[in-house]
Each structure stands twice: as structure tokens, then as C-alpha cells.
Structure 1
Amino acid sequence: MMSAPAELRSVTGNTGKLGQGDIYDHTVAIPPMPDYNGRILAYTATAAIIVTGVLQDVFPQLLLWMVAGALIWPHLAHVLTRRTFLRRSARIRQKMLFLDCIIGGSFIGLIGLIAIPSVSVVLMLMFSCLIVGGVRQWLFGTALMSAAMAATVAATGTAADLEAPLLTSIVAILATGTYICVTAYYSHQQARALLLAKTQIQNQREQSIALSHKLSKYLSPQVWQSIFTGERDVRLETQRKKLAVFFSDIKGFTELSEEMEPEALTELLNHYFNEMSEVALKYGGTIDKFVGDSIMVFFGDPTSRGQKEDAFSCVSMAIEMRKHMKIMRQKWRSQGIKTPLEIRMGISTGYTTVGNFGAENRMDYTIIGKEVNLASRLESLAEPGEILVSYETFSLIKDRIMCRDKGEITVKGFGKPVPIYEVVDFRRDMGPHRSFLEHEHSGFAMYLDSDKVTERERKAILSALEDAADRLRQEDDTE
């Protein structure tokens, strides 16, 4: 006469955005009581009520035919919903439950609204409606049941005595209680399974977040973000884009590698890469790769602020790297590394091919093209501490960054000699108002970036400079 909660369901968690975080796909079987078994239980309970009522002369003998119908209908309903065209019908479970409500209402009308058997059937129907479809299903089910009940009562009338004998009432109560308890048990099992599924999904989500963060260490943050937010597909594809390409290496690193132990050299190199990577990310650069002591960075993909801004950010990054290298060199000197390490850099701007290269099972997100070769060549030609840029880059930054003409060079892949320029500094930092000062001599080194000095640090620096000046004056007086 009614159905139980649901057939086997699955709970699937799925998200395609790494940061938030996280990619996972997990299916958990939820084992509620199937419709078939629930309908058999409900109609068997109703058949027991009918038989008891007929034996006690509460119901007319004619209702015995409904016993056969109650025992056959669950199997027939199962066949109709699983073996025929009805299986393709949307919300077939709810529709079959509506039919159960009509049958139940008709039965209540046929028994003449005898109180306890009628209430028992109503409870089973309403319980099923609330579990299967919520309040909406309950409202529609109640309306259909009431309509069927009213129509049947209008045709057959009510019973002379609405009170049922004790045995019939007991059987009706036991049958209804059994149905509700069994259905509630399976609902409880379903709730436990849902809780377990939620816990498993949460655990897998946390594992996926941790894994995605580990994988992000092997990719530039911009590339990782575009992949894990679904903006970029992981497949072999490339495109032509105008990018600013940066190369750098350390002058003197080869000599240093012959003097230092491999472990100490590795620690120094990792420290250098870590510091320079933070500078690159600060300006929005996409870190392509580390090769030996070289760094390759490009601007303009996967995100771009326009060709001019990309080129300016790239050169700004290079200037800050040069300044930062001087500070790091002083720190290394205090650690006993006397080899003067200098960074040299080359920057080119132009059209390159950018995207995923390689095989389907092993890809590398990188760029190729003659502008990449030009940037690499400029880096190899640069003097220690020098930043060389191509004419295209110079034309995009010249209004904000002072550059010096360095003539022309011949580069493979370019039909004509390529004009190159040396980056001097930001125009705003030129002259007496510049923020960065440096003085380096034997026994003395000073690097001052006044824009980064706080008020408290300024007092300490002034005190240290005054002490140093007093010391130098005392030595002059002694001499």
C-alpha cells in the first residue's frame, strides 16, 4: 500500500577548484530499504488487518479479495517500474506512492472509516510520503488519499460502528508499528551511511587539498591555479602570445662549486632560488624552470596585464633581484664565502609559443621561440650585475626606466642585428632622491633601500652609522 524510503543511492562529492582546494570523486553505497521490500511489508500488514477484521465480522466478506490484491500488487508494481516503459518515467517512485495513497484511501472508505484500522493505514501512508518526498509529497498524498476516501464513502457509506474489536485493533496497531519500526531502522542505517559518506568525503577532500598543495610545488602558482580552478585543461595544446622572457644566472658559480662541498653548495643554491622566486612571484612572473644556477621566468601567461605592464613588471623584477643579490652576497661573505657572486640577466619581449609540450602522460608547461633564444643570449652576454634588454622591451619601459644603448648584436634566427640596451635604474630613483644606495669596499659594505626602512630601524641604522663614523675618525686622528 506504500513504499519504503528509497532504492540504493550513492553520495558523490565532486569539486574542480584546487583552493580552495580540492579535487575528489567518491561514491558511497547507501543501503535503505528498497521500494519493493517496503511495499511488500506495508501490503502484508494491510492484508493481516483485513483478514483479522473479516474473521471478527468487522469487515464484509467481500473484502477478502483485497487480500489477494494486497499480496500481488507489490510484485506487479515492481515489474511495472523495472521491466516496462515506466522505468524511464521521471520521479516514478513518487508517482507509484501517489497510487498507493489512492488505494489506501479507497480501502479506508470500503471499511467504512472504522477508527483504528483506518488510522493505521493513514499512518503508514503518511510516514512513507514524508520519508520519500518530504512535505510536498505528504501534501499531495494526503489530498489524493482524502479524495479517494471521500469518493468511496460516498458510494458505500460508513460503518454502523466505527469502533473495532480489540483483536482487530491490536493486529492493526502491531502491523503498523512493525512497518514503521522496520522502515525507521533502515532510515537510521541510511543516516549512518550518509554520515560515514560525509566523513569519508571530508577526509578525501583534506587529502586532495594536501596532495594538490604538494603538486603545486612542481608548478608555477599561476599555472597551478589555472589548472585547479578549471580555467585550463591539462592537454597538449599551445598558443602564440607576446611575452616578456627573463633569464639569469650567477657569475662565479662554477668557480664556487669547485671550492665548496656539495651539501653546502646545494644549501646556498636553494637559498638563492628561494629568495629570487619570492621576488619573481611578487611581480607576477611565471617561473618556468631552474637549470643549474639559471632561472627562467616569463610574464604574460597564464595571466597578463597588457604588454607594457608585463614588460615593466619583468624589468622591475630584474632590478629588485640585482639589489637583493647584493644583500645576499654580503650575508654569504659573513658565512665565509669569499667568492664574489654576481647575477647577470637578459630580457626579451616578443611572440612565443606557450603551452603544454611533451607527451600525454608527461607534459611540461613552457615556452619556445626565437625571443626565448634572444633572452638567453642577452643573459650570456651581460656583465656581472648587468641587465640587458632587447629593443622591443626597451620601447615598452623607456618612459619609466633609464636604459643605456649598448649597440647591436647578431643572434641566430634574426635576419638583422639586434639593438640591445643596459638597464640602469628606475627613473624615479635617479638623482639625489633615489631610495637605494650602495657602497662596497674591502672591509666595508652598505646597501640601503630607504623605502623599506621603518622608523624604528632608521634610528638603529643612524646609530650604527654614527658609531662607524666615530671609529673611522678616531683611527684617522691616531694616524
Structure 2
Amino acid sequence: MMNAPAELRNATGSAAKVVHGDLSSHETVAIPPMPDYSGRILGYGVNTAIIITGVLQGIFPGWMLWLVAGTMLWPHAAHLISRRTFLRRSPRIRQKMLFLDCVIGGGFIGMIGLVAIPAVSTVLMLMFSCLIVGGTRQWLVGTLLMGAATAVSVASFGVAESFQSPLLTSLVSVFATGTYICVTAYYSHQQARALLLAKTQIQNQREQSIALSHKLSKYLSPQVWQSIFTGERDVRLETQRKKLAIFFSDIKGFTELSEEMEPEALTELLNHYFNEMSEVALKYGGTIDKFVGDSIMVFFGDPTSRGQREDAFACVSMAIEMRKHMKIMRQKWRSQGIKTPLQIRMGISTGYTTVGNFGAENRMDYTIIGKEVNLASRLESLADSGEILISYETFSLVKDRIMCRDKGEITVKGFAKPVPIYEVVDFRRDMGPHRSFMEHEHSGFAMYMDSEKITERERKAILAALEDAADRLRIEEDSE
């Protein structure tokens, strides 16, 4: 009289693959859900057994044997209706068919005159199916429909002389109902287990995908990687024109150093340098384009931009911090036996470039091209050790916060007129007696201090060290 809770099939779509034993095992076996067709045959078979037993024991009228034909034919008819007609397109055909089963079940309860055990058995099977298939809403609507059908049926056929049923009828009703509930519960358990294991497998695949994406992100700038994996950007050959701030840098004296050092030591030094400079670039939001030899190319303004002025200021701020950080690294390298004084030189320009994916459909490179890129590279090659050269466009965007020095004009291929260039001195806030960064370097002495980064605890330790150094120098001076 009811649809089986095998409706859970709708949650998985098809037969589920369940892993037996250990979840890490690769051996799987198909656990098919209990079909609607089979579930309905089982449910109506239970009622067939109840009808036959009740008629044989005289508790039900003999004409009810004709219902056996209906209970045997209805599952096939329901299958035809739900699978072979236009109703199959209904998104909730299973729930609707179960409502119809509730109406039929209510009519059956009225026909048997509300005899207690068979009636309760039918109610239990229907309510069990409703709860599993559609939850409390299905259960509530199914109960109302069954109650209404029962009332109509009782009004038509009347109530039985006794609500009690013979022992055999009661036993058959209880046993048949228990069999139905156990079978459907077994399939429900299998479906729940299959769903849990499928969820575990999906979670494992998700974790593997995340791990793989993080590995792939090492080959892309974080901003580009994030825009791709969040769906903001399509991976296809396309470019656009944008105004960007472009940065180039290299190590002056690196060629001489490569002739002095072993390849392994040189590689370690270069990777350390790139790692430190990359952290500075990412700190200011730069998109790292590429590493070429000892050179670094970074641009600001794509995929994300904070506006032309802020992009240019972030680019110059990054260059200033790189220059400061280079002095700290140079002191560390000197302590490791590298005597060649490595110096960084940098060039920055701002202007419209073509940015996007270049290459082939199966191998792309996210980069920029244009005359402003050539200008930044030219400025970097013209810069002296520790010098930051910027174009006029960059200067006009940062001059209110960055102190610059006029360096004249240069002629660059692609530019019709000479290009004015400027040297970056420092942040205006760090000029004068209140500057946060101080440096002194002599033979046997080196000091680099950025007061903005020093904590209260570190400040006391630094003061103690400076006082000890000062006392030592005074003692040596007095002894002379």
C-alpha cells in the first residue's frame, strides 16, 4: 500500500559505489537502492498477506479477496504511470505517488472496519515510508490524506463489530510489517552509508585538488592564481590595455660573483635573494611576472588595482624596501664569506601596456608587453648600484610622498621625445631628524635600523648593545 523508502535513490542519482572495509581501499561494489517498483511490490504484498489471512479467519468479509487482485496489479500500474507517461517529468512524482498510496491505505483501513492490529500495521508502513521519502512535511500531508480517506471509507463500510483480530491475523500483520520495515531500513542504511562514503571520497578529492592547486600556484603570481581558481578570470588567450606600474631589478656585480662561486652555492644565494624580494613584492601587492637570471619583473595594477596613484606609490615603496632589505642581506652574506658587495639597481615606469595571456592554447604566459615595459628595463640598466630610477609619469604620481632627484633626460626607443627621469631618494616622512631608517657602514662596523619595526622589548636589547659598543670604543680610544 506504500512506496518504499528507496526514494533515497534520488539523492544519489544511480547505484552508489560503496567501499567495503577500510575507506582507503580501492575495491568497490555497487549497492543499488531499493527501486520504487520493488518497494511498492513489497508493501502491497504485505497487505495482500493481511487480507488473505483476515478473510480466511473470518474477520474480513469474503468480497475483500477481490482486493488481492488490486494489490497485485497496482504496483505495476504505478510504475507505468510514473515511468512511462508524461507524469515522469514531474519533479516530485515519487512524493505524489506516495500520497496516492496514503489515500489507498486509508481506504483499506476503513474497509477492514478499523480492526486494530492490521490497521496499525498499515499506518506504520505508510508513516515510515513518508518520513524517509519526504520528511516531516511528507509525513504530515500523508497523515491528513490517510485520515480523510479512512473517514470516507468508514462512513461507507462501517466499523467492524470488534476491533480485536485473531492471533494468526495479528501475527501475520506484525511479522509482515516488521519484514517491510527491516528491508526498507536495510536499504536506507546502505544508502546512508553510500552517501557518507561518497562524501568522504569527495572530501578527499577536494583536499587533493586543493593541494594540487597550491602546488600549481608556485608557478603563478598569487593574484593571478586566485583570480583563476575563483572563476574571476578565464584561462584563454585574451589581453587588455591597462595603465600599470612596471618594476625591473637586477644585481649589479652578479656576473663577477658567478665566476667566483661554485654553482651550488650561487644557486642557493640566488634563491635566497629571490625568496626575500618576492616576500617584499607580495607585501605591497605586486604581481610577480618572472625571474630572468638575477632579474625580477613585477607590475602593479592587474589583476587587482587600487588606482593609478596608489599602484605607483606601492611600486616605489616596494623598491625602497627592497633597497633597504638588500643592505641587510649583504651583511648576512658577508658573514657567510661572500666578500663581493652585491648591489641592487632598479627601474620603474608607469603607463599603458597590454596585459593578459600570451602564447598558445595549450601553453600560456600571463605577462605584459609595451613600450613602458622597455622603458622600465632601460631605467634599470642605467641605474647605479643601490639606485632607483623612475619615469616622469611615475614621479608625477608619487612626488607628494616620495623625495626624488632630477636626473635629466634619456632617449629610449619607441618614444618620440627624450624621457625625463628621476632618482628616488626616500620617503618624505623618513627625511630629516625623524627618519625611521638609519644606516652606517664602515670597515668592521655595520648598522641598519628601521625604528618602525622594532618592538619595545627589542628596543631595550638594542640600546644595551649600543651602549656596550660605545663603551668599548671609548675604552679603546682612551687607551690610544
Report TM bin, short chain.
over 0.9
Deviations 1:98-130 (A, max 9, x none): 111111111111111122111111111111111
Give the distance between the partners of 1:11 and 1:97, measured in 2 at CA.
Answer: 20
Q: Do the aligned residues in 2 keep the contact of 1:7 with 1:34 (CA within 8 Å)?
A: no
Partner of 1:104: 105
Equivalent residue runs for 1:389-408 within 5 Å = 389-408=390-409
Bigger Cα displacement from structure 2, 206-215 vs 334-343: 206-215
How big is the shift at 1:9? 4.1
Query: Within the alignment, does 1:242 sit opposite 2:240 as a pair?
Result: no
Query: Within the alignment, does 1:3 sit opposite 2:3 as a pair?
Result: yes
Partner of 2:362: 361
Distance 1:364 1:10, change over 3 A: farther
Give the distance between the partners of 2:11 and 2:221, measured in 1 at CA.
Answer: 37
Partner of 1:22: none
Bigger Cα displacement from structure 2, 192-201 vs 290-299: 192-201
Partner of 1:229: 230
How big is the shift at 1:411? 1.3
Distance 1:475 1:170, change over 3 A: closer
Equivalent residue runs for 1:23-38 within 5 Å = 31-38=32-39
Give the distance between the partners of 1:68 and 1:401, measured in 2 at CA.
Answer: 95
Equivalent residue runs for 1:112-131 within 5 Å = 112-131=113-132
How big is the shift at 1:461? 3.1
Bigger Cα displacement from structure 2, 385-394 vs 447-456: 447-456
Distance 1:268 1:158, change over 3 A: same
Partner of 1:289: 290
Distance 1:378 1:112, change over 3 A: same
Bigger Cα displacement from structure 2, 469-478 vs 122-131: 469-478
Give the distance between the partners of 1:187 and 1:260, measured in 2 at CA.
Answer: 70
Amino acid at match of 2:428: R
Partner of 1:268: 269
Q: Do the aligned residues in 2 keep the contact of 1:36 with 1:74 (CA within 8 Å)?
A: yes
Partner of 1:443: 444
For the residue of structure 2 that corresponds to 1:147, the secondary structure is helix
Distance 1:11 1:101, change over 3 A: closer
Partner of 1:322: 323
Q: Do the aligned residues in 2 keep the contact of 1:8 with 1:30 (CA within 8 Å)?
A: no
How big is the shift at 1:434? 1.8
Partner of 2:70: 69
Amino acid at match of 1:4: A
Give the TM-score of the pair, scaled to structure 1: 0.93
How big is the shift at 1:432? 2.2
Equivalent residue runs for 1:181-220 within 5 Å = 181-220=182-221
Distance 1:70 1:403, change over 3 A: same
Partner of 1:464: 465
Give the distance between the partners of 1:43 and 1:463, measured in 2 at CA.
Answer: 92
Give the distance between the partners of 1:207 and 1:73, measured in 2 at CA.
Answer: 49
Bigger Cα displacement from structure 2, 282-291 vs 357-366: 357-366
Amino acid at match of 1:102: V
Give the distance between the partners of 1:7 and 1:205, measured in 2 at CA.
Answer: 24
Deviations 1:323-374 (A, max 9, x none): 1101111110111101110000000101111222222322222211111111
How big is the shift at 1:474? 4.5
Distance 1:473 1:110, change over 3 A: closer
Partner of 1:21: none
Partner of 1:24: none
Q: Do the aligned residues in 1 keep the contact of 2:440 with 2:447 (CA within 8 Å)?
A: yes
Distance 1:477 1:126, change over 3 A: closer
For the residue of structure 2 that corresponds to 1:406, the secondary structure is strand
How big is the shift at 1:239? 1.6
Q: Do the aligned residues in 2 keep the contact of 1:9 with 1:29 (CA within 8 Å)?
A: no
Bigger Cα displacement from structure 2, 238-247 vs 56-65: 56-65
Identity of aligned residues (%): 85
Distance 1:437 1:195, change over 3 A: same
Q: Do the aligned residues in 1 keep the contact of 2:8 with 2:191 (CA within 8 Å)?
A: no
Unpaired segments of 5 or more residues in structure 2?
14-28
For the residue of structure 1 that corresponds to 2:302, the secondary structure is coil
How big is the shift at 1:221? 1.7
Give the distance between the partners of 1:173 and 1:316, measured in 2 at CA.
Answer: 82
Q: Do the aligned residues in 2 keep the contact of 1:250 with 1:341 (CA within 8 Å)?
A: yes
Distance 1:295 1:96, change over 3 A: same
Q: Do the aligned residues in 2 keep the contact of 1:400 with 1:427 (CA within 8 Å)?
A: yes
For the residue of structure 2 that corresponds to 1:419, the secondary structure is strand
Give the distance between the partners of 1:466 and 1:238, measured in 2 at CA.
Answer: 59
Distance 1:370 1:59, change over 3 A: same
Bigger Cα displacement from structure 2, 204-213 vs 412-421: 204-213
Deviations 1:85-109 (A, max 9, x none): 1100120000000111111111111
Give the distance between the partners of 2:270 and 2:467, measured in 1 at CA.
Answer: 35
How big is the shift at 1:249? 0.4
Deviations 1:42-73 (A, max 9, x none): 01111111111122222222111211111111
Partner of 1:132: 133
Equivalent residue runs for 1:75-86 within 5 Å = 75-86=76-87
Equivalent residue runs for 1:280-429 within 5 Å = 280-429=281-430
For the residue of structure 1 that corresponds to 2:2, the secondary structure is coil
Give the distance between the partners of 1:147 and 1:451, measured in 2 at CA.
Answer: 80
Give the distance between the partners of 1:392 and 1:470, measured in 2 at CA.
Answer: 50
Q: Do the aligned residues in 2 keep the contact of 1:129 with 1:138 (CA within 8 Å)?
A: yes
Partner of 1:18: none
Q: Do the aligned residues in 1 keep the contact of 2:8 with 2:133 (CA within 8 Å)?
A: no
Distance 1:320 1:30, change over 3 A: farther
Give the distance between the partners of 1:138 and 1:247, measured in 2 at CA.
Answer: 70
Give the distance between the partners of 2:453 and 2:178, measured in 1 at CA.
Answer: 77
Deviations 1:404-436 (A, max 9, x none): 111111111111111111111111111222222
Query: Within the alignment, does 1:172 sit opposite 2:173 as a pair?
Result: yes
Deviations 1:290-344 (A, max 9, x none): 1111111111111111110110010011001001101111110111101110000
| Count of paired positions | 464
Partner of 1:25: none
Give the distance between the partners of 2:445 and 2:274, measured in 1 at CA.
Answer: 26
Distance 1:11 1:413, change over 3 A: farther
Partner of 2:23: none
Amino acid at match of 1:2: M
Give the TM-score of the pair, scaled to structure 2: 0.92
Query: Within the alignment, does 1:259 sit opposite 2:260 as a pair?
Result: yes
